[in-house]
Amino acid sequence: MRALLEKIAAEGEVVAGGVLKVDRFLNHQVDPHLMKRIGEEFADQFRGERPTKVLTLESSGISPALMTAYELGVPLVVARKRRPLTMTGEVYRAEVYSFTKQEANEIVVSRSLLDGFDRVLIIDDFLANGQAALGMVEVVRQAGAAVVGIGIVIEKAFQDGGRLLRSRGFRVVSLARIASLADGVIRFHEEVMN
């Protein structure tokens, strides 16, 4: 998605350890116009799969996931990283190891929000090693629901997540694929392939 690639090139910053900081339009300050276009793109890509819910993980996945759910006309479910006091009923839970934070988190979703009739589109901001996405896949599995696709705003194609998810048969659509962040330079997959 050209507008996204241009935004990453103009405003993305490489942080030590192969991490891309996009705090000016996605993770801290959010560009609503870009999020709207991202939502339209994911909706176009996955509408044919007839999703009944969009699922994301708090907090950075919420902006693109909300716009996608809006375009598809379905609810957005936000998996929580800490169980809030108000979440009193039964929950689905999965363990997610974060390589950026080097810690394991439990993610929880209320059982009342997903059931065996749901067709779930998973949306997240980044795909690195795939642990966040796999945690959400596990929640969907516990609900007896189906994963109809995984939409990622920025895939770090030099890490294993994309390969892992695709090898398990999931349809993964990434709007930007980063081939390398070596030496502090952002190189896009498309550019390396040309």
Binding-site positions for 5-phospho-alpha-D-ribose 1-diphosphate read: 128-132
Choice between 43 and 176, CB closer to ligand 5GP: 176
* Beta carbon of residue 99, minimum distance to ligand 5GP (angstroms, whole number): 5
* Beta carbon of residue 88, minimum distance to ligand 5GP (angstroms, whole number): 27
Main-chain dihedrals φ then ψ at residue 98, nearest 5 degrees: -100, 120
Choice between 132 and 145, CB closer to ligand 5GP: 132
Residues 6 or more apart whose CB falls under 8 angstroms from that of 95 comprise 104, 105, 106, 107, 135
* Beta carbon of residue 100, minimum distance to ligand 5GP (angstroms, whole number): 5
Choice between 88 and 102, CB closer to ligand 5GP: 102
* CB distance 114 to 93 below 8 Å: no
* CB distance 97 to 125 below 8 Å: no
Q: Which residues bind ligand 5GP (CB under 6 A)?
A: 19-22, 27, 57, 60, 98-100, 124-132, 156, 161
Choice between 19 and 30, CB closer to ligand 5GP: 19
* Beta carbon of residue 50, minimum distance to ligand 5GP (angstroms, whole number): 25
Question: For residues 120 and 150, what is the distance between their CA atoms, to the nearest angstrom?
Answer: 9
Task: Tell me the CA distances in angstroms from 189 to 10, 153, 173, one per residue in order.
Answer: 17, 14, 14
